[in-house]
Amino acid sequence: MSSLPESGPLLDAASPLPPEIEAADEPVRVPLAIEDWATVIIMGLLACITFANVLVRYFTDSSFAWTEEFSVFLMILLAMVAGSAAVARDRHIRIEYFAEGGSMARRKRLAQFGAAMVAILFFLIAALSVRVVWDDWRFEETSPGIGVPQWWYSIWLPIVCSAIGLRALGLFVRRRRKTKIQGGGVKQ
């Protein structure tokens, strides 16, 4: 018989992820399925556009002019939607040395501070990007590739930044509530 090492979590054949990563999401008021389905739809659109462009290039030696511009927009939107899901699930990038060091109280305060800073940052970006959308609308800017109104692309920036800010605010409230419950002697 072979012995298994004791360090690190064990993975079964059906699960490609460690158990702590595969854990269920925290309960939230606005379902995380919104970001999940938006990701699926955006990825599907990207795959269809790319596949269509490959077929057209293969059979005609030309390409759809709009595919590159629209694909870049969809990739940016995908990154923003994924960012919203990462913030809601508290899986955004952090420096483990600081986030996991120190006492439990320090880690909780740091988690709350991080969520508050993310919320402030994205609400600020959302507010400032409204001006960009307004300027695109007012000056009738068109996209450089295919000439559609530029606000068709820029309108999504304040919307998704607001969503990320709201998700961060929700994370802040959940972390604050968790700290109060645990501080009051009631463990979750």
- d(C-alpha 142, C-alpha 69), whole Å: 12
pLDDT value for 53? 87
For residue 18, name the pLDDT band (cuts at 50, 70, 90).
low
User: Measuring CA to CA, how many Å separate 93 from each of 99, 114, 116, 123, 157?
Assistant: 10, 11, 15, 19, 21
The larger pLDDT score, comparing residue 181 to residue 140, is at 140
Average the pLDDT over each of 12-26, 84-98, 145-159 and give the range with the smallest value.
Answer: 12-26
User: How big is the CA angle at 172 (ends 98 and 29), to the nearest 5 degrees?
Assistant: 135
pLDDT value for 77? 97
pLDDT at 11 over 70: no
For the whole model, what pTM was predicted? 0.78
The larger pLDDT score, comparing residue 14 to residue 92, is at 92
Highest mean pLDDT among 27-31, 41-45, 64-68 belongs to 41-45
